[in-house]
Each structure stands twice: as C-alpha cells, then as structure tokens.
Amino acid sequence: MQLILASGSPRRKELLGLFGIPFVVRAADIDETMDPEKAPFDEVARVSRTKAMAVPRQQEDVVIAADTIVVCQGKVLGKPADPAEAVKMLTLLSGRDHQVMTGCTVLRGEKSETFTEVTDLHFRPLSQKEIEKYVATGEPMDKAGAYGIQGGAALFCERMVGDYYNVMGLPVCRLGQTLRSVAPEVMEGVL
C-alpha cells in the first residue's frame, strides 16, 4: 500500500509531511475548468474527485487529492494567468471579505470521501503600490486568488475564521479525520 498525494504543490507536500507518514507524489493531469453555472463549493469538490480518480494506483493504495479556489463577490479566483490578472485579483480582494475553498478527496479502492473546507478572510484595503510590489515578487503567480497567506500576503489579512492550512491548500485537521475514516491503518502512530 502506498499513500499518494495527487498534487505537485510544494505547499501540499509540506503540509502532508506534518503527518509524519511516508507518501509519494503523483500529480494528476486533468482539466480543472469549473462550470460557472454551478456552485463553487460543489465544483471544487468535483475537481478534487476527478484528480483522485485520474492518478494511477493499485487497489490498496490511498490517494489524497485537493483543489483550492478563492471566491470573492461571487467570482471564482484560481491561479492568475499573468501579472496583470494577479493585480486584478488582488484589487478585487482589497478591503473585502472572501472565502478560500478547498475540495479534498481521499480514495481507497471503491471507498472514497470528499469534502469542501471553507475559511473566511478579510483583507485590509491595499494600495495600488502594495499590490504591484507584491505581484513583482512572483509569489502570487502559482496561487489561487494570487496570494500566499504563508508569505507576503500575511501582511494583508486582518481577519480569518477557519483552518489556516486550508488557505495554504490542504485542510490538515479535516484531512486527518477523513483518513481515519477511509484508511485508518494509514493513521496508525499519528497523533
């Protein structure tokens, strides 16, 4: 049996490493396009399920897949395509409440469990200069919503309600509970 992380994200690798159990990385190569007519909460869960199913595995292997989006004023913000889009996203988030949603799937054989974790955040008003300076660091370019809460964007967040690790891309607490449900032997020896 192998524990497989269906993601190439360095943040997800780091967070899964907190469990102290060995795992391999097999990034899923799928179309992550979401249906704008459907609820983001449901779509991010669907994408995580699709990622989990796309990973090559043996019947006894356990797969963890996740997808993270930012939702602000009804708009879904994925990873920015370029610096101009990153500036647009951060301008939208400036002075506003938004949500980070991570769909997460744990799959083993025919058994799977999918959930969506939601964290509420509020960014203080940001100046155009701050936004442009942050985008120039390159940090926003591979992150949903064009920011990394564990990096420079920590200076932007006034309030957060929910799982901090969810904002980084992997809801660690709920994932641990789900692993105990779907594949309890994986969690033997873990707190």
Name the residues annotated as catalytic.
67
* Token duo for residue 73: 């004023």
* Token duo for residue 54: 């796309």
Look at residues 102, 78, 86 and name the one whose alpha carbon lies nearest to residue 169: 102
10 DSSP β-pair partners: none
**Separation CA 59–CA 123 (nearest Å):** 44
Give kind and range of the element (H or E) at residue 24. Answer: strand 24-25
Q: Are strands 3-5 and 62-72 parallel, antiparallel or unpaired?
A: parallel
